Amino acid sequence: MSYLVKGYLEDDELPPKPSKERLEKKSVAYIECPQEIPCSPCLESCRYDAIRMENINAPPEVDYEKCTGCMQCIRVCPGLAIFMLRIRNGKGYVTIAYEFLPWPKKGQEVILLNRKGEKVGKGKVTWVLPPERNDHTSLVMVEMDPELIFDVRAIKIAKAVEGGD
Amino acid sequence: MRLTEHPIVEFRRGKEVTIYFNGKPIKAYEGETIASALYAAGITTFSRSFRFHRPRGFFCAIGKCSSCLMEVDGIPNIRTCKVYVKDGMQIRTQNSFPNADSDFLAILDSVIDRMYPHGSHYKKFTRPRVLREFITKKVRGFAGTGSPPRKVFEGDASFEEIETDIAVIGGGPAGMSAAIYAARIGARVLLMDENPFLGGQLVKQTHRFFGSGRHRAGTRGIRIAKILADEIRELKNVDVRYETKVFGIYDGVVGAVERDRKLLKIKPKKIVVATGAYERTLIFENNDLPGVYGAGGVQTLMNVYGIKPGNRGLIVGSGNVGLILTYQLMQAGIEVAAIVEAMPRIGGYFVHAAKVRRLGVPIYTSHTIQRAIGKKRVEAAEIVRLDENWCAVKGSEKRIDCDFICIAIGLSPTHELLYQAGCEMKFVPELGGLVPVRNRYGETTTEGVYVAGDVAGIEEATAAMMEGRIAGLDAAIKIGYGDDEAIKLREEVVEDLREFREGPFGERIVVGLQKVTVEVGT
């Protein structure tokens, strides 16, 4: 379990990836929660029976065919470990739970970070769930190179000098 | 140093007041404790250690340590982290000359200790007797804390005798849950807490909780505190006494002081002790330097009072507290230089680690802090790698620039009341220290005295709430409240808790509990 030494998942430790066809249909929940911890709000929030968990300590498994991309689970996940992934018209989209100031705005350019906090490119915010609608956890959808959707796991707002808004 | 905006918390500050620190006026806001107001004004040295006069700063912020003791309005040894500011308050540092910040007696640490090292007073100046007596008298003058009060108590002190069904000591997650569940089935409950608010340490938990939805997972700790406190307010049979300190349990009679004014003699049928825990410190060079803080102390300062602990921190310990604190510091716009962890792997939940790792915070596993660097406050820290035998690897030292260090290596149960009440205690490392022997409903060997929450064994708030429910229900049932439904509910919570602890994170707890849990009725 090298993720417990490093603090991030390596490629071979990631959960099974949804197929490209599935990603092109509609957005899908991708849960990076490999460890047995006593936690189950995602399971309880899912109205489509798409999340499986044997018991409260078992890591969740998503049935990508049942998942409708409704985003109930990402709203409640206390580990901020759920990411909504989507590919549309050749562009990749990742939705991230975000709890920092300043709140991102639609249309803003942001720096994309991978699981280690390294800069991997730039993206554009295409949708924001206002933080007040979800007890101060905002959801931010970022448009990016489709190759990056399994890498980008955080965003940083570029300082105003670097051309933010 | 005060935060004006925060993504999660809205800080509502009271009226502006002026307090005087060693005669100097300082601006503060009502609702702030003296210690937090002083910290916000940039004061980091709160006291001097009583022997070597080393500077001491803020540490725990919840009244469990002694480093913020000061003289307030003429009364010595006041825990300034527990007393709220009032306009015109006179605060003085004690045990120092002329004041704690520039203490002339610090010479004891820097010069005199070199000539007469620690312990030498047992050998030096022992003869002749006259000299010994003279020196002893002088040395005692330097030591100790504070001067006798310069003011006598004014006001009305009173006394109250209370008969109730259940006395609950501590208004945190466990105590509140015990009160609610006992009161729901009809018991009269007296709930006491030393703070002017309920919630215990939930009031600084700005993150969403883990667990199952049934136990409010996915909800922030601060909101859970409010939900529980609101429910208690609704329950007519719960009498809440704020700012009430329980000092002893004598044959089932509880002694307490309410608001420093009123002595309470409480005769309950059952007692639930839910006094929580305090933070541990770690041994390393200069670990008493102002700027070395308890992780929970920093959370209190930052999330309750909205005051920045510093600009760049180092976190020691990668358990959930350390990881969550790192995230919370970043939410307040404070940089975290690194997290160090002595174990070869991260101690807390992976998802908490991933949250800060993807924002670029390095986590050094198999590393520990070797010393804090700085004269009067932390300027940097030196960390070192540990080999498989836990020995520092020479040459692997690394200097990390930071202006504060958070110790997040664990907690110890606040067990004193249980000991005093005559409960059989055992030292169980898996549960964090001295804990009472109890049955599965939390009743200790002293009949009618229950435990719940961290004082029963260090775990976390979700388990504390479940333990509180079980203790509250069982205590009420034993008195004669509730019906079969109540018994069914009690068994359901016992089962939920068992399931909650089934994973790898519960293993340690379960092993610890096996050492202190006895069968019901024995």
What tens digit of pLDDT does each residue of B472-522 get?
Answer: 999 999 999 999 999 999 999 999 999 999 999 999 999 999 999 998 754
Over the range B152-182, which residues count as b (16 or more CB within 10 Å of their CB) and which as e?
eeeeeeeeeebebbbbbbbbbbbbbbbbbbb
Residue to mutate among B5, B210, B495, with most A CBs inside 10 A, is B210
Residue to mutate among B351, B356, B509, with most A CBs inside 10 A, is B351
Q: What angle do CA A115, A118, A122 make, to 5 degrees?
A: 100
Rounded mean pLDDT, B130-154: 80
Residue B106: band (very low, low, confident or very high) from pLDDT cuts 50, 70, 90:
confident
Q: Which residues of chain A have pLDDT under 50?
A: 162-165
Residue B292: band (very low, low, confident or very high) from pLDDT cuts 50, 70, 90:
very high
Interface contact flag, A57 B210, Cβ < 8 Å: no
Q: Is B364 on the interface with A (CB under 8 A)?
A: no
Lowest pLDDT segment from A155-164, B71-80, B282-291, B372-381: A155-164
Q: Which of residues 18-77 of A touch B (CB under 8 A)?
A: 32-41, 44-45, 55-57, 76-77
Q: Which of residues 118-157 of A touch B (CB under 8 A)?
A: 118, 131, 135-137, 153-154, 156
Q: Which amino acid makes up residue B300?
A: T
Q: Are A158 and A111 in contact (CB under 8 A)?
A: yes
Predicted confidence (pLDDT) per residue in B433-456, tens digit: 999 999 999 999 999 999 999 999
Looking only at the bridges linking them, the beta strands covering B189-192 and B238-241 are parallel
Q: Measured between CB atoms, which of B212, B331, B349 is closest to A100?
A: B331
Confidence (pLDDT) at B431: 97
Residue B217: its chain A contacts at CB < 8 A? 39-41, 76, 78
Query: How many residues appear in chain B?
Result: 522
Rounded mean pLDDT, B315-335: 97
Confidence (pLDDT) at A162: 44
Chain A to chain B, count of Cβ pairs less than 8 Å apart? 144
Distance CA B236, CA B186 (A): 10
Q: Does the pLDDT value for residue B8 go beyond 60?
A: yes
Structure tokens at A116: 């280690």
Distance CA A155, CA A140 (A): 9
Torsion of CA B235, B236, B238, B241, to 10 degrees: 110
Neighbouring C-alpha atoms within 13 Å toward the C-beta of A21 = 1
Neighbouring C-alpha atoms within 13 Å toward the C-beta of B102 = 2
Structure tokens at B412: 């110890």
Interface contact flag, A38 B346, Cβ < 8 Å: no
Confidence (pLDDT) at B521: 57
Distance CA B339, CA B362 (A): 6
To the nearest whole Å, the CA of B464 is away from the closest chain A CA by 14
- How many angstroms separate the Cα of B225 from the Cα of each of B107, B200, B423, B426, B472? 47, 8, 29, 31, 18
Q: Does the pLDDT value for residue B113 go beyond 80?
A: no
Residue B178: enclosing H or E segment and its boundaries? Answer: helix B173-184
User: What residues does B75 pair with on adjacent strands?
Assistant: B72
Q: Is B10 on the interface with A (CB under 8 A)?
A: no
Interface contact flag, B503 A36, Cβ < 8 Å: yes
Structure tokens at B491: 């068994």
Question: Is the model's pTM score more than 0.90?
Answer: yes
Rounded mean pLDDT, B408-424: 96
- Provide CB contacts within 8 A for B120, sequence distance 6+: none
Q: Is B365 on the interface with A (CB under 8 A)?
A: yes
Residue B328: its chain A contacts at CB < 8 A? none
To the nearest whole Å, the CA of A107 is away from the closest chain B CA by 21
Residue B365: its chain A contacts at CB < 8 A? 5
Q: Does the pLDDT value for residue B417 go beyond 50?
A: yes
Q: Is B461 on the interface with A (CB under 8 A)?
A: no
To the nearest whole Å, the CA of B98 is away from the closest chain A CA by 43
Predicted confidence (pLDDT) per residue in B207-242, tens digit: 999 988 778 889 999 999 999 999 999 999 999 999
Whole-number mean pLDDT of chain B? 94
Confidence (pLDDT) at A164: 39
Interface contact flag, A8 B331, Cβ < 8 Å: no
Residue A27: which of A90, A96, A88 has the closest Cα? A88
Residue B79: band (very low, low, confident or very high) from pLDDT cuts 50, 70, 90:
very high
Q: Is B227 on the interface with A (CB under 8 A)?
A: no
Q: Is B431 on the interface with A (CB under 8 A)?
A: no
Distance CA B125, CA B108 (A): 17
To the nearest whole Å, the CA of A123 is away from the closest chain B CA by 16
Confidence (pLDDT) at B216: 85
Predicted confidence (pLDDT) per residue in B163-213, tens digit: 999 999 999 999 999 999 999 999 999 999 999 999 999 999 999 999 887
Q: Measured between CB atoms, which of A5, A35, A114 is closest to B349?
A: A35
Predicted confidence (pLDDT) per residue in B348-362, tens digit: 999 999 999 999 999
Confidence (pLDDT) at B165: 98
Residue B44: which of B335, B400, B375, B296 has the closest Cα? B375
Looking only at the bridges linking them, the beta strands covering B69-72 and B90-92 are antiparallel
